[in-house]
């Protein structure tokens, strides 16, 4: 266990009593504004009466229609809503209860497809360093997050790790402009080196979350990756657990890069945290091969398609559509960045303010030119989270990495229906908390 995780687990946490919209209260009556929607989950804030009513109504009928016995209205409605958003050929899905299960299902669908088309030697995955795909063994194995994976090494399915694709920290020899092409070239080299006939899929986060802080795919990266995957029969899996369901503006984050993956995961914002819900979604080409060979997806769980969770998903997605919230999230991207930049004006440690939609972060560095992070042992991001809590703000920290591959990062992921006043309260309190910690650490 890393020091940072020890701190997280042993810290004495306040007890939350209730939430309303963008605000939460604890047992002492203290109020917090939810600047990160918890871990980028609560896209409609808390205790939305319409979502609560939809769940209650569903529970009044039946909580869960078990998948081998029944379909349900809620499941079918949600499936049509998702199809309308994903467009193109991403039409088939397996419902699960969260992000790790969604990723796990994506990996299994890729393997089942490769087997179905007679490519059973394709068992390995390629993924990237500074990535987070979840806490189950399969998802953990493809994650590039040493702080969380080291204890389990040796027990993972085979996975090959590439460099992170980050325009702020381009790989050696690349510039911010060429970072995307350079990282894509790494993928092709790895496929050729290990043999295309051994690789089932490449998995990546279109906008990296917990492991790197709101890092969008550099320009041209996703298109190039798509071409390379196609050329070598390698499936492309987009992990949109954190960045999907409208968090970055479009419902699919990768839609902004003009690319359709073969398989994608979605979770956090799908039911907005009102119920545990996720999905692995694949194209008709993948599904047709699986259906022809096996008749059904081989993956699924007891709570697959949980009816009350699907009802929550339908309600959340209907509200987002009716209120035009995705357009608002898109429009707020530049405002959030400029409000943050204004509130942090003159703070030398601000290395980068980046992200998309309502998924924006500030990366702090010891030196702007070299982008050298502060020593990880200082635990700046965790201290900023603690200061923010004192100041009545929930934000999401990403700790500075011990090997210096990212600085301390503070992620904001406000609910999509935040008012302008709430958004400025969030950016102002973020800046105050960052300034306080830098000052108390003697760094400003």
Residues near ligand PMP (CB under 6 A): 39, 98-100, 103, 132-135, 205, 209-210, 239, 241-242, 267
Residues in contact with 156: Cβ distance below 8 Å, sequence separation at least 6, in sequence order: 137, 138, 140, 141, 142, 149
Minimum Å distance from CB 89 to ligand PMP? 23
Strand ordering across the sheet containing 23-26 = 16-20, 23-26, 31-34, 393-394
Give 209 or 269: the residue with its C-beta nearer to ligand PMP. Answer: 209
Give 98 or 305: the residue with its C-beta nearer to ligand PMP. Answer: 98
* Residues 244, 269 contacting (CB under 8 angstroms): yes
* Secondary structure (3-state) at 204: strand
Tell me the residue nearest to ligand PMP as measured from the CB. Answer: 99
Minimum Å distance from CB 422 to ligand PMP? 23
Minimum Å distance from CB 9 to ligand PMP? 16
| Cα-Cα end-to-end distance for the chain | 31
DSSP for 422-442 reads HHHHHHHHHHHHHHHHHHHTT
Minimum Å distance from CB 205 to ligand PMP? 5
Where is 33: in which H helix or E strand?
strand 31-34
DSSP for 75-122 reads HHHHHHHHHHHH-TTEEEEEEESSHHHHHHHHHHHHHHHHHHTT-TT-
What count of Cα atoms within 13 Å lies in the side-chain half-sphere of residue 244? Answer: 27
User: DSSP code of 304?
Assistant: T
Give 75 or 237: the residue with its C-beta nearer to ligand PMP. Answer: 237
Give 21 or 249: the residue with its C-beta nearer to ligand PMP. Answer: 249
Give 9 or 421: the residue with its C-beta nearer to ligand PMP. Answer: 9
Give 289 or 312: the residue with its C-beta nearer to ligand PMP. Answer: 312
Please state the length of the chain. 444
Give 70 or 152: the residue with its C-beta nearer to ligand PMP. Answer: 152
Give 211 or 289: the residue with its C-beta nearer to ligand PMP. Answer: 211
Give 202 or 374: the residue with its C-beta nearer to ligand PMP. Answer: 202
Give 115 or 127: the residue with its C-beta nearer to ligand PMP. Answer: 127
Residue 57 and residue 51: Cα distance in Å, rounded?
Answer: 10
Integer angstrom CA distances of residue 372 from 3, 38, 76, 363: 21, 28, 50, 11
Minimum Å distance from CB 278 to ligand PMP? 7
Minimum Å distance from CB 143 to ligand PMP? 8
Give 67 or 128: the residue with its C-beta nearer to ligand PMP. Answer: 128
Strand ordering across the sheet containing 350-356 = 350-356, 359-364, 408-412, 396-398
Minimum Å distance from CB 44 to ligand PMP? 18
Minimum Å distance from CB 204 to ligand PMP? 10
And the tokens for 424?
């400025």
Query: Is the backbone of residue 162 left (phi > 0), alpha (psi -120 to 50) or beta?
Result: beta
Residues in contact with 357: Cβ distance below 8 Å, sequence separation at least 6, in sequence order: 246, 247, 248, 249, 329, 330, 332, 333
Minimum Å distance from CB 215 to ligand PMP? 11
Minimum Å distance from CB 197 to ligand PMP? 28
Residue 91 and residue 80: Cα distance in Å, rounded?
Answer: 9
Closest CA to 143 of 122, 165, 116, 125: 125
Minimum Å distance from CB 49 to ligand PMP? 25
Helical segments of 117-232, H only: 137-142, 146-149, 179-194, 221-232
């Amino acid at each position: 266990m890393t020091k940072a995780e020890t701190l997280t687990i042993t810290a004495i946490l306040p007890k939350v009593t209730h939430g309303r919209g963008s605000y939460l209260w604890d047992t002492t009556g203290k109020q917090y504004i939810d600047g990160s929607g918890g871990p980028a989950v609560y896209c409609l804030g808390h205790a939305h009466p319409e979502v609560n009513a939809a769940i209650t109504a569903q529970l009044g009928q039946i909580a869960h229609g078990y998948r081998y016995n029944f379909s349900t209205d809620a499941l079918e409605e949600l499936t049509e809503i998702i199809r309308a958003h994903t467009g193109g050929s991403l039409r088939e899905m397996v419902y699960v209860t969260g992000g790790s299960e969604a990723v796990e299902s994506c990996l299994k669908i890729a393997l089942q497809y490769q087997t179905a088309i007679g490519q059973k030697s394709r068992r390995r995955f390629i993924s990237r360093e500074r990535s987070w795909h979840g806490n189950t063994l399969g998802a953990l194995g493809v994650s590039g997050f040493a702080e969380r994976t080291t204890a389990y090494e040796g027990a993972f399915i085979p996975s090959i790790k590439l460099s992170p694709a980050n325009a702020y920290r381009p790989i050696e020899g690349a510039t911010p402009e060429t970072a995307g092409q350079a990282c894509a070239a790494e993928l092709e080299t790895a496929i050729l080196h290990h043999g295309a006939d051994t690789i089932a899929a490449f998995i990546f986060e279109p906008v990296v979350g917990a492991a790197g802080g709101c890092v969008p795919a550099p320009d041209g990266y996703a298109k190039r990756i798509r071409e390379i995957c196609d050329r070598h029969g390698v499936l492309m899996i987009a992990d949109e657990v954190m960045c999907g369901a409208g968090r970055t503006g479009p419902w699919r984050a990768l839609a902004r890069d003009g690319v359709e993956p073969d398989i994608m995961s979605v979770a956090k914002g799908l039911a907005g945290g009102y119920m545990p819900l996720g999905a692995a979604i694949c194209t008709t080409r993948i599904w047709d091969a699986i259906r022809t060979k096996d008749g059904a997806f081989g993956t699924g769980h007891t709570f697959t398609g949980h009816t009350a969770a699907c009802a929550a998903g339908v309600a959340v997605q209907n509200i987002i559509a009716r209120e035009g919230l995705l357009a608002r999230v898109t429009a707020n991207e530049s405002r959030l960045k400029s409000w943050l930049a204004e509130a942090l004006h003159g703070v030398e440690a601000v290395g980068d303010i980046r992200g998309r939609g309502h998924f924006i972060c500030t990366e702090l560095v010891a030196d702007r030119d070299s982008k050298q992070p502060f020593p990880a042992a200082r635990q700046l991001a965790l201290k900023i989270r603690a200061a923010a809590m004192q100041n009545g703000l929930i934000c999401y920290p990403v700790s500075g990495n011990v090997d210096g591959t990212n600085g301390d990062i503070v992620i904001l992921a406000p609910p999509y229906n935040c008012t302008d006043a709430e958004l400025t309260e969030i950016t102002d309190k973020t800046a105050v908390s960052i300034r306080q910690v830098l000052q108390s650490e003697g760094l400003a």
